[in-house]
Structure 1
Amino acid sequence: MKTNTSHLNNRSSRRNAFSVRSLAIAAVIGICGVAGSAAVYAQATAGKIFGTAPAGETIYAKSVTTGFKRHVQADSKGRYSIGALPVGVYTVTLEKDGNPIEKHPNVGVIVGRGVKVDFADSAAKE
């Protein structure tokens, strides 16, 4: 007596296709989850310093404890923003032609918050 096994092969083939598809979907979800959590982690451990300064001048933020340093230039309206700063205490310095002309020491950066630091020589006042 001959047994018909073709339906078993079809069932096995469909099961394998389903497994491959399921793994692919799980991989995509996993990758998206990791990428999303990295963005959340960055937001959850950093803050920013923003304010006004003379247009085109350079503003530095330097961590008092670690020495971490980041700088930006004020835009044409005299606004600046230094984002993704690790939490801590910073000295914020306005430089003109490479020379410091005004400093704000002990600026505390808090998780997920912005701290406003304006410079007196700023042409842009709100």
Structure 2
Amino acid sequence: MVSSLPSVTAHAQSTTAHIFGQAPAGETVTALSSTGMHRHETVSKKGHYKIESLPAGDYIITLQKGEQTVDTRAHVALIAGRGAEIDFACPNDQCAAADR
């Protein structure tokens, strides 16, 4: 007997989100969820950052230089399986560290 049922392929669905963007090199970007979970990443020498594996939800994203917060983005809604680009201003539009 031949089955006429369609073939079903299971696809994994991501349950996390990520943020990425540009910011001044060497500074720190922190993601703080409404549940209190937080993660941070140092901005690369090229002025890029990415924070992965964040649970979906509402976040406050901050840019810090040393211990001081220099910029904040509130109410950033992260959706599972998607990324959100959050860029911070760079002096003279140059995020990368200058060669010395």
Which residue of 106, 112, 124 maps to 2:75? 106
Gaps of 5+ in 2: 1-11
- By relative contact order (CA 8 Å, sep 6+), the higher-ranking structure is 2
Seq. identity, % = 43
Q: CA RMSD in A?
A: 1.6
TM-score w.r.t. the length of structure 1 is 0.62
C-alpha displacement of 1:121: 2.7
Scaled by the length of structure 2, the TM-score of the pair is 0.77
> In the alignment, what sits opposite 2:47?
78
Superposition pairs for residues 48-63 of structure 1, below 5 Å?
48-63=18-33
- The runs of at least 4 consecutive aligned structure 1 residues that moved more than 2 Å come to 121-125
Per-residue CA deviation, residues 24-65 of structure 1 (Å, 9 max, x unaligned), is xxxxxxxxxxxxxxxx5xx6210001000100110000002x
Instruction: For residue 25 of structure 2, give the secondary structure of its aligned residue in structure 1.
Output: coil
Q: How many residue pairs align between the two structures? A: 83
How do 1:1-126 residues align onto structure 2 when only pairs under 5 Å count?
40=12, 44-64=14-34, 66-121=35-90, 123-124=94-95
